[in-house]
């Protein structure tokens, strides 16, 4: 039987059908790509239009909306793959990529959130407090779950992640008051008693309470002094620091005393007379004078008194238990009244210690 000749009209149709069979499975994918591009464009246009009146964060919103539209388009492309393609594998790969990206980025997010909860629970500072962390000094303007915002002395807003607030030491200016200090270097030819009077006068002029003076260092050519005092209202911390330095300059200038800069070098002949300070009598101290340690370490002192009171309470309870045990074991009448009186005195002592402990705890909490 002979071979049937091919129809010249059917051959092109078969070729077109073969091409169509190859292209048709990919048409939904191509349509999905076009729709995704249109979706991204429409989303960006809508976001820009809605944020036209408030362009402050429009870029961020556009980026987020674009990322969401692209993610939706990628998922749609996976579902639009031809039947022969492994769409489940592609979807799994995209899921792994997205999950990995979220896992990597969520480490800092979770760390900041946990740090924010820790800062809230500890409560070492609150909005309005002066703090210094990682070289940044300012007042807390916002305490959020993920970040802490402070306003610097230049009125700038500084955003710090909460993880930094936990990992770095935070210096908190107490709302009950703080110590303001300044250093000055004076030559050895000036009596320290005269300087103490001038420095105390400068501290009072700056509005500080109970100013005190400390000798910080005996240098090669000058003596370094620290002038400090208590500031009741820490809201004026920045201004008071400047006022204290200005008052020191004014007091020393009026007394004719020169401040020795770090670059000052004193030279004299070997056989010359020694440079000694002018002898000035130390001021007489009458009555009790509160020391610098009493003001500087007041909270630590209060904590120490609380601990010592707790130890005294524990010892008093132990003694009371022993007296009560001895009283219960007494057979005769001779020792009974004496032990009963001792038990009564011990109970009164415990009552006084508990009242003292409550007062100290209240003061410690108020600080």
Tell me the whole-structure pTM to 2 decimals. Answer: 0.53
Nearest to 192 by CA among 227, 229, 228, 225: 225
Tokens 């692209």, residue located: 70
Same structural domain for residues 182 and 274? yes
* Upper half-sphere CA count for residue 200 (Cβ side, 13 Å): 12
Same structural domain for residues 87 and 134? no
Q: Is residue 112 in a domain?
A: no
- What is the strand order of the sheet 170-172 is part of? 157-161, 147-152, 136-143, 130-133, 170-172
Same structural domain for residues 236 and 266? yes
pLDDT for 244 equals 93
Domain count, the chain: 4
pLDDT for 337 equals 79
pLDDT for 158 equals 86
pLDDT for 1 equals 47
Run of H or E residues at 226: strand 223-231
* Upper half-sphere CA count for residue 295 (Cβ side, 13 Å): 18
Here the CATH number for the domain that contains residue 208 is 3.30.70.100
Same structural domain for residues 213 and 265? yes
pLDDT for 114 equals 85
Q: Which of 105, 132, 155 is the last residue of a domain?
A: 105
Q: Is residue 198 in a domain?
A: yes
CA angle 285–291–292, rounded 5-degree value:
135
Q: Is residue 15 in a domain?
A: no
pLDDT for 288 equals 45
Q: Is residue 301 in a domain?
A: yes
pLDDT for 269 equals 53
Tell me the residue range of the domain where 330 lies. 297-366
What's the rounded Cα separation, in Å, for the pair 293 and 287? 18
Same structural domain for residues 101 and 28? yes
Q: Is residue 247 in a domain?
A: yes
Same structural domain for residues 86 and 149? no
Same structural domain for residues 247 and 331? no
Q: Which of 290, 320, 340 is the last residue of a domain?
A: 290
CB within 8 Å of 64: residues ≥ 6 apart: none
Q: Is residue 17 in a domain?
A: no
Q: Is residue 93 in a domain?
A: yes
Same structural domain for residues 306 and 275? no
Same structural domain for residues 282 and 311? no
Same structural domain for residues 182 and 269? yes
Here the CATH number for the domain that contains residue 134 is 2.30.30.60
Segments in the chain below pLDDT 70: 1-26, 51-60, 81-106, 261-301, 331-334, 364-367
What's the rounded Cα separation, in Å, for the pair 250 and 198? 10
Q: Is residue 85 in a domain?
A: yes
pLDDT for 226 equals 93
Same structural domain for residues 197 and 281? yes
Q: Which of 46, 70, 105 is the last residue of a domain?
A: 105
Same structural domain for residues 185 and 284? yes
């Amino acid at each position: 039987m002979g071979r049937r000749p091919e129809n010249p009209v059917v051959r092109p149709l078969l070729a077109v059908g073969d091409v169509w069979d190859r292209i048709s499975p990919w048409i939904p994918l191509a349509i999905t790509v076009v729709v995704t591009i249109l979706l991204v464009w429409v989303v960006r246009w809508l976001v820009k239009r809605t944020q036209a009146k408030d362009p402050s964060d429009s870029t961020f919103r556009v980026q987020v909306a674009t990322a969401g539209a692209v993610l939706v388009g990628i998922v749609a492309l996976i579902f639009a793959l031809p039947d022969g393609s492994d769409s489940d594998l592609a979807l799994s790969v995209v899921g792994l990529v997205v999950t990995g990206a979220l896992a990597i980025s969520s480490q800092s997010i979770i760390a900041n959130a946990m740090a924010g909860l820790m800062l809230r629970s500890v409560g070492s500072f609150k909005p309005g407090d002066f703090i210094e962390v990682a070289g940044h000094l300012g007042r807390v303007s916002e305490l959020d779950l993920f970040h802490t915002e402070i306003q610097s002395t230049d009125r700038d807003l500084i955003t710090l992640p909460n993880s930094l607030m936990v990992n770095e030491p935070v210096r908190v200016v107490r709302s009950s008051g703080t110590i303001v200090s300044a250093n000055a270097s004076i030559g050895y030819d000036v009596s320290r008693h005269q300087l103490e009077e001038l420095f105390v006068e400068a501290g009072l002029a700056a509005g500080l309470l109970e100013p005190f003076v400390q000798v910080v260092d005996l240098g090669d050519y000058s003596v370094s002094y620290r002038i400090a005092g208590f500031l009741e209202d820490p809201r004026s911390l920045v201004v008071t620091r400047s006022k204290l330095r200005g008052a020191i300059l004014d007091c020393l200038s009026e007394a004719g005393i020169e401040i020795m800069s770090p670059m000052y070098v004193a030279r004299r002949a070997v056989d010359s007379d020694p440079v000694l300070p002018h002898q000035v009598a130390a001021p007489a101290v009458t009555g009790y004078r509160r020391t610098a340690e009493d003001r500087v370490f007041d909270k630590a002192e209060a904590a120490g008194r609380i601990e010592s009171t707790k130890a005294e309470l524990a010892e008093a309870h132990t003694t009371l238990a022993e007296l009560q045990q001895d009283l219960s074991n007494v057979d005769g009448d001779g020792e009974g009244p004496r032990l009963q009186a001792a038990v009564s005195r011990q109970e009164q002592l415990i009552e006084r210690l508990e009242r003292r402990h409550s007062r100290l705890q209240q003061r410690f909490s108020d600080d």
